Amino acid sequence: MSECARVIISCCRIALHSCYQVLCCKDPPASCLEYDILCIGLTNAGKSTLLCQLLDENTNKVTPTSGFNIRAVQFEKAILNVKELGGGEGIRKYWSRYYQGSQGVIFVLDSASNEEDLEEARLELHCALQHPQLCTLPFLIFANHQDKLDARSIPEDCGRAGAEWKRTLWKGGNTNSRV
């Protein structure tokens, strides 16, 4: 595994752990150690790969997600039940049916994608951030594909879409816990 992949996996662990800590500080019932996390993003953003890496599984075996995919990621004191929703155009309109009960959101982005896909992802992110069932939740935006030469950092360096990304993040809901 490359150094870059190792760094990315470590970042994922830290980010998910931060998600867990935010949830814990929010008002956790003492006995509730499981949290339902939603994982969304366009097809090929790397949602399934991210889950595989968090579970120390072989990412070569990742197959396209049809419908949804639920994986339990165990930490020392909690389990995150991460529900990945398929990111295809035909499936995205049904995403909101699966929002209920979520306690945190991971939005995975292919940060090396073309401007058109980046804009499509921004629109989906915008909808998710505004949704009544998600707008108060901890929200992690995971800028994936950082190993690629043309990867952008979000929102600082995503070309023409940059200002829109900033606006989306700034206006998104009333949560105080964006990552």
109 in a labelled binding site? no
Calpha distance 123→55 (Å, rounded): 30
Measured from the CB atom, the residue of 3 and 27 that comes closer to ligand GDP is 3
Omega cis (within 30) before 155:
yes
Among 43, 81, 133, 177, interactor with ligand GDP by CB under 6 A: 43
CA–CA separation, 79 and 47 (whole Å):
18
72 pairs with which residues across the strands? 81
Task: Rule CB under 5 A: choose which of 35, 37, 65, 142 binds Mg ion.
Answer: 65
Using CB under 6 A as the binding rule, whether residue 6 contacts ligand GDP is answered as no
Q: Which residue is nearest to ligand GDP (CB)?
A: 46
DSSP state, 18?
H
* Size of residue set near Mg ion by CB under 5 A: 3
Contacts of 100 (CB under 8 A, 6+ apart): 133
Of 107, 121, 119, 109, the C-alpha closest to 153 is 109
Question: Applying CB under 6 A, which of residues 24, 36, 44, 79 lies at the interface with ligand GDP?
Answer: 44
Binding residue for ligand GDP, selected from 26, 148, 167, 171, defined by CB under 6 A: 148
Looking only at residues 106 through 125 of this chain, which bind ligand GDP when binding is defined by CB under 6 A? 108
Element (H or E) spanning 34, and its range?
Answer: strand 34-40
- Phi/psi for 106 (5° steps) reads -115, 120
Task: State which residue, 23 or 54, has the beta carbon closest to ligand GDP.
Answer: 54
Contact 73, 82 (CB under 8 A): yes
- Asked whether position 53 contacts ligand GDP by CB under 6 A, the answer is no
104 near ligand GDP (CB under 6 A): no
Contact residues toward Mg ion (CB under 5 A) are: 47-48, 65
Contact residues toward ligand GDP (CB under 6 A) are: 41, 43-49, 59, 62, 64-65, 87, 108, 144-145, 147-148
